[in-house]
Structure 1
Amino acid sequence: MKSQTYPRLLAAGCFLILAALIGILPAPLYGVSKEMLRVMQQMDEMQQQLQVLQKTVDTQTAVLRTLIEQTNNKVTSMQTEVDDLKKSTQHDLQHDLASNGARFDSMTSQIEALGASLDETKARLAKLGDQMAQLQNMIQTLNTPQTPANPAAGTPGGGSAAQPAPAPPPQPPDPDTLFSSGTTNLTSGQYGLAIQAFQQYLDNYGTTDRALDAQFYIGEAYYAQGKYAQAVDAYNLCLERYPAGAKLPAAQLKKGYALLALKQNAKAVRELRSLIQRFPSSHEAELARQRLRKLGAAAR
């Protein structure tokens, strides 16, 4: 009985001692240890996440740097191509301007003629309105009953019958109408009608301010048809009859172009040099210099 009681007492004592020891340890120590473990675990996880993020950033930075380098290379290549294209375009443009000077100048003249035609059309419409009003008045006058004439005047014994008065010569169209007709036909390619209208203008109004323009446009009409000899004659009349006028440089330039078209290069060179000497600061003088350079001739 005694031998069985002793082990029980020993076990009970150990239990009491263990319980006492547990009771002696401060309770907050266990709580702090667990909290520290959790914080350390979280820090470790964050450290791992930072390492992964750093690798991702490094990878993306390398890719971005590669893309930037490739973009810079493409921009440099494109800039080189643009510069080459600009140089080529400028060279081609200068060549085209030099080789097509006559055509460009002809188009410029046609545009100027079209502008003049528009102005003339407005003036013509205003005149047509006045003429319509006059015609309406005439119709009303004709419709008004007239007083019968003396019948004895037309009967035998009443004297000889009056002879009808001769018809007055037809009046030429007004200058605005003629000039407008000429410019309209010139811009629409009706060169024969344009020459006819401008020539009629010169025949009736050859001393007006626009006589030089009319003569110049006759030359333009011949030039556009490839009738270069007639064009030279028309441009000569501009230079001979009208020593002062805005169209003189253009007339002399186009005369030089027409002479070149006729293979009369020596005369053409003299004409272009004369133009440069007479009107050195004009646009036509610059075109003449370009044509002389193309011909390999000096401007002086």
Structure 2
Amino acid sequence: MNIVRNISLVVLLALSGCAMRSDLETVQRDNEELKTRIFRLEKDLGGVRTETRAGIETTLQDFEKERAGARKGLADLQASMDAMKVDLQVMAGKVDDLSLAAKKPTEEVNLLKEDLERRLSSLEERLGAVQKKVTDMETAQAKPPEPATPEALYQKGLDAYRSGNFAAARESFARFLEQHPKHELAVNAHYWSGEAYYGEKKYEQAILEFQEVIKNFPGKEKVPAAMLKQAGAFNEIGDVKSARYVLRKLIDEHPSTEEARRAKERLKALK
């Protein structure tokens, strides 16, 4: 009985050993298979990582390129805006220059007119003082008998001028104007008095006499001639600006006269 039990125990142990070996082999096979699967997964994962890294690097490179392009576009746009600002500033400067250039002729004319008026005023004061002295001297001297008519007194002055006796001519014209200031020949008397001063090279006095014609006898035929001679007197004393001003005024106000034609020629010569 004991023998049978022992034999049964041995058989059981043998069978148990066989079962354990079979399970162990199964476990080993499963383990190898698991390792193989893990290896494949790691390999696949490595490929995915490589592809992902390459894709990321490519994406980053593309992004960097796009960002560089955007930066360049922004820089070009900024440069264009800066250039436009400079152009606008230049245009604004040119507009200001044009505006100043447009104002300048008017301002120059106004300044020249004011300067001319001051000069004429000063000359009038000086001529008044001179005339007063002459009047006082004439009063102190015995006066010769006067011609019978205003026309005769005027003609006497004109004859003296034509003979070259400018002082006697001025004296006769001065008496004529003193006695007959409203006479129709008064404008001529002033004009020929200016011519007499001009002939004596007393250009400042001549300017004032011609100014009497221009200012007090508008519309008279002697006005253009007086303006032309006045411009010549200004030129003789070196006041070229005033000469130009008077010549331009003559051309503007009396364009169809012979004096205006001569004024244009003189303007060309003064430039």
TM-score by length of 1: 0.41
TM-score by length of 2: 0.45
Indicate the structure with greater helix content: 2
Larger radius of gyration: 2
Q: Which has the higher contact order (CA 8 A, sep 6+)?
A: 1
